[in-house]
Amino acid sequence: MRLGLLSDLNAERAARRAAILVTELASGEQRLVREGDIGQDPLAAELQEALRRGKSGLLEQNGRQFFLTVQAPPVRVAVIGAVHISQALAPMAKGVDLDVTIIDPRTAFATPERFPDVPVLAEWPDAALPDYGLDRYTATVALTHDPKIDDPALIAALRSPCFYIGTLGSRKTHERRVQRLLSAGFGEADLARIHAPIGLDIGAVSPAEIAVSILAEIIAALRQDRRRAA
Amino acid sequence: MVSTETDILRAAEEWRRAGRGVALATVIETWGSAPRPVGSHLIIDEDTNFLGSVSGGCVEGAVITEALDVIADGKPRMLEFGVADETAWQVGLSCGGRIRVYVERVE
């Protein structure tokens, strides 16, 4: 592989843009196809499908064999609330390759001492999230229990293509939240995107167990569609 | 911490820019219960430093040996490993799967 090509591939990754490296195995010939340029490629339909599945793999076309290295951006989790569950979640998320950022306007909570290994933004979600950028490789998790802080994050998430939205709260709390979001102009289809109460139902009790259930649900949202598509 | 595929490709670029001879190995096909998925990378330099994994340890040694030849002559190679391999007792996959690995030089 030419160094320039490798460098371009890494640059796309750093900019959080998907790209596919196409290698013709017989000749070793390679090209990098950026997400935005797939339509112009001779293998447009096949590359589009590979990107949708998010999986690298072999492709046979007119007797020629290609290998597609599919590179999707690293998956991020925006955690609203510098709370106990978040403290348990941050290191676990790292172990499964999820990049966590903690967002909480309460400066007593949002400290680097409480979260030594992840970025911490002591800002309101509606101030922090536009720059952070909720894209379709990002999950949003709202854990403060405080509608003043959680609601602006949920609203930003619902207006974004992020692949997962989850928030704490009993059914009653969630009903009230649904009413607030309905009056804010969201519809049933929007609200169906919210996982509440958050996390897979594994009977989790401690903050660490709840963190496990949240991460499991995020991984399920990330992988299961692709598995069904495979 | 296990390196992600991103870290590995970034390291490949850094190693090459530092003037080291570098080969990139990629799992391109698997059959049966292969330990690492298609698209997994292993990078190797001329001093046999390596990062990443194509099989969780079963055939890395053999891939590294081939990678040194790839770094030397620049010709990509296709390697196949499995229990049916005649050297299976040495470098076979204990899980019974088979994998095909493409090894190329970073120019």
Q: Do B76 and A28 touch (CB under 8 A)?
A: yes
- Cβ-Cβ contacts under 8 Å for B78 (sequence gap 6 or more): A25, B100, B101, B102, B103
Q: Do B24 and A1 touch (CB under 8 A)?
A: yes
Query: Where are the strands (E) in chain B, listed by range?
Result: 22-31, 41-45, 50-52, 77-82, 98-106
**Given pLDDT bands bounded at 50, 70 and 90, which one contains residue A116?**
very high
Q: Domains along chain A? A: 3-71 (no CATH), 76-229 (3.40.50.720)
Mutate which of A56, A226, A227 to test chain B, going by most B C-beta atoms within 10 A? A56
- Paired tokens of A80: 């609203």
**Sign of the Cα pseudo-torsion (A45, A49, A54, A55, in order):** negative
pLDDT of residue B39: 93
A204 Rama sector, left if φ>0, alpha if ψ -120 to 50, beta otherwise:
beta
Q: Do B104 and A94 touch (CB under 8 A)?
A: no
Q: Closest to A28 (Cβ–Cβ): which among B6, B13, B104?
A: B104
Name the residue of chain B whose CA is nearest to A7's CA.
B13
Is the complex ipTM higher than 0.95? no
pLDDT of residue B5: 72
Share of chain A above pLDDT 90, in %: 82
Task: Tell me if chain A has a CB within 8 Å of the CB of B4.
Answer: yes
CA distances to A22, B11, B70 from B60, in Å: 24, 18, 15
Taking the C-alpha atoms of residue B8 and residue A43, their distance in angstroms, rounded to an integer, is 27
CA distances to A141, B38, B77, B91, B94 from B98, in Å: 40, 12, 17, 11, 10
pLDDT tens per residue across span A25-78: 999 999 999 988 999 999 999 998 888 777 899 999 989 999 999 998 889 999
Q: Do B107 and A58 touch (CB under 8 A)?
A: no
pLDDT of residue B83: 55
A interface residues, B as partner, C-beta within 8 Å: 1-3, 6-7, 9-10, 13, 23, 25, 28, 55-58, 67, 69-71, 74, 94-95, 97
Taking the C-alpha atoms of residue A27 and residue B4, their distance in angstroms, rounded to an integer, is 28
> Which is more confidently placed, B98 or A118?
A118
pLDDT tens per residue across span A140-191: 999 999 999 999 999 999 999 999 999 998 889 999 999 999 999 999 999 9
Query: Å from B47 to nearest chain A CA?
Result: 19
Mean pLDDT of chain A: 93
Task: Tell me if chain A has a CB within 8 Å of the CB of B16.
Answer: yes
Q: Do B26 and A69 touch (CB under 8 A)?
A: yes
